[in-house]
Homo-oligomer: A and B are copies of this chain.
Amino acid sequence: MRLGPVSPSTGALRPLTVDSVRLDPGGLLGAWQRRNATATLPHCVAQLDEAGALDNLRRALGLGDREYTPMWFADSDIYKTLEAAAWELARPGADPRLREFVDGTAEMLAKAQHDDGYLDTYFTTVRPELRFRELEWSHELYCAGHLIQAAVAAARVGVGERLLSVARAFADLIVARFGPGGVDVVCGHPQIETALVELYRLSGHRPYLDTARRFVDLRGRGLAGQGRFGPAYLQDHLPVREAPGVTGHAVRQLYLLAGVVDVAAETGDTTLMAAAERMWDDAYGTKTYVTGGQGSRHRDEAFGDPYELPPDRAYAETCAAIASFQFNWRMLLATGQGRYADTMETALYNAIPAAIAVDGRHFFYANPLQRRADHDSANDHAPARRQPWYSCACCPPNLARLMASLDSYVATADDGGVQLHLYATGAVRTALADVDVSTGYPWHGRIRMTVSSDAGRAWTLALRVPHWCVAFTATVDGEPVTAPVRDGYLRLSRDWPASSTVELDLDMPPRLVAAHPYVDAVRGCVALARGPLVYCLEQADLPGGAALADVRLDPSAGLGLAPAPDLPHGALAVTAEAYLRPPPSPALYAEPHAGPPGRRIGVTAIPYHLWGNRADGAMRVWIPT
């Protein structure tokens, strides 16, 4: 059983093994996965060398004398890249250099590991006296978590014996020191929780789970101290079971919640699961951008107050969107509720891919929903252009590991049937049936499936009907079918013959989206969307001389479709009617007055995830009306 990422032993849905799904590069998800394999992942491996992360490891072996750089938790960049490489190696025809990278790095890690299992190049070579002494900022357990995740991935795809023994030795040290009966600590940056649960799932070794649960339970007792941003920043202000909502550093909060669901799933802890659901309601009901991005504050990379969702200063860190995807996947597995898959899909088609340039080698760290024409990059640590790497390089290899494992999130299956969560051209192989999928999704709403099954008994094919879809038709072998939609899935139950053709046609007109009236920052604006995609206006697509700031959409006019100009992947643009207001008078504050509406123009909106790939200029998702 070569399971994919996240393999709970209980829950409403059962994930597939790693070789169950193939994404065809003719579809968008497959194209992204291919780009990841051919561009992003090799780029990450190269950057580990260039930025210094691998040199830190060599330094720990007494080789080389480059100064420790760039960040004290740069080991995690190595581990995430290892994990990405492992998932990639599960596919036939993977680049053999990836295997060399995995084996060679595992070899170095084994050598760098202390006899007691400890492994952290920063605290080995730079600050040995602080080993395990200041966990609130040290990221030691965060790095350990990523080491474990990489090792679990490598083990699951069968390339990681050496890595797994390194990871287990470190995990055993962590259990001995901080597990039941050990020292009470809070690690400032969650990740160890999910990692230990996954290692438990792989190994069956219960102390890993017990230690993960302990890390969850120890939060909220003030163990992490005040820190620079207060205990809420690292979710140590309240016990997890008592926290009314999400708060503080968004990535930390979301990784923690993923761990909370993992622990709840394995222990049957209903109060913990209830806490996760309560925080989900808060996060996705009041603190999530329409793109799926989260974390509206730059200062502490944190969630803001409910409905505090400024588009211009959206921090919406790439890693937060990935963490949200992971949290929701666990919620989906635990509950089978389509809303979690909807949330995954929103992030997957908007906040997450926006972080990657079309070349696969440049990345955003923050993902704002608006950029003004006169944006002053020099006075903003979130660069206006995607960068090849960051001194804090958490995001690029995190994207790589997600994209490398994207196939694992497409479907689940159990004795009762097969569930399709994400629609992508490719093939799903399960014990019960094979489903070959052909679709232009997300550019088109028609999904054609060939279902081959020799089960010889009734089972249910569950097809997700996304939250944005208000009308659809389904046919089996050309015959229209009506079937119940329950928990977000159209459920086709029957004795499936050896082969059937199923078509699901999701109505996908371009549409206007409004925000809750409490979202002050986008009052009087609408967003354009189609299917799972959120759109934006970019300066590059406006008629010459027109400034984006002067465009007001006419929401009463119809919307249309057109090929997206100068953009890849068969992308479609949404067209709309607007008014181009004459430039306003310069007074910053004045008596209210309705200016002239201006002249009518047509505007072309491109998918948000493709912004910033052409000329620099203004961009906005929320358009004044």
Contact = CB atoms under 8 A, between A and B. Distances in A.
Contact of A299 (B299, B310, B375): B299
Contact of A513 (B284, B522, B589): B589
A615 interface: no
For the complex, would chain A's binding face be called helix, strand, loop or mixed by DSSP majority?
A: loop
A305 interface: yes
B514 A230 contact: no
- Looking at chain A, what size class is its interface with the partner chain? 35 or more
B378 A237 contact: yes
Contacts of A374: 305-306
B297 A381 contact: no
B592 A526 contact: yes
Interface stretch (A124-132, A285-293, A403-411): A285-293
A581 interface: yes
Given A374-B306, A512-B592, A586 B379 contact: no
Interface in A508-529: 511-527
A308 to B, nearest CB: 6
Contacts of A230: 378-379, 381
A311 B520 CA distance: 9
B372 A307 contact: yes
Interface string A250-276: 000000000000000000000000000
A303 interface: yes
A517 B303 contact: no
A1 interface: no
Interface string A488-518: 0000000000000000000000011111111
Given A588-B286, A592-B512, A518 B549 contact: yes
A591 B521 contact: no
Contacts of A513: 589-592
B248 A379 contact: yes
A378 B247 contact: yes
A299 B524 CA distance: 27
Nearest to A512: B592
A233 interface: yes
A523 B524 contact: yes
A584 interface: yes
Interface in A284-331: 284-286, 288, 290, 297-299, 302-308, 310-313
Contact of A308 (B313, B589, B591): B313
Contact of A524 (B298, B524, B549, B591): B524
Identify which of A297, A381, A517, A591 gathers the most chain B CB atoms within 10 Å of its CB: A517
B379 A303 contact: yes
Nearest to A526: B592
Interface of A: 229-233, 237, 247-248, 284-286, 288, 290, 297-299, 302-308, 310-313, 370, 372, 374-376, 378-381, 511-527, 549, 555, 581, 584, 586-593, 595, 622, 624
Question: What are the nearest 7 A-B pairs in CB distance?
Answer: A524-B524, A514-B592, A299-B299, A523-B524, A298-B299, A232-B379, A232-B378
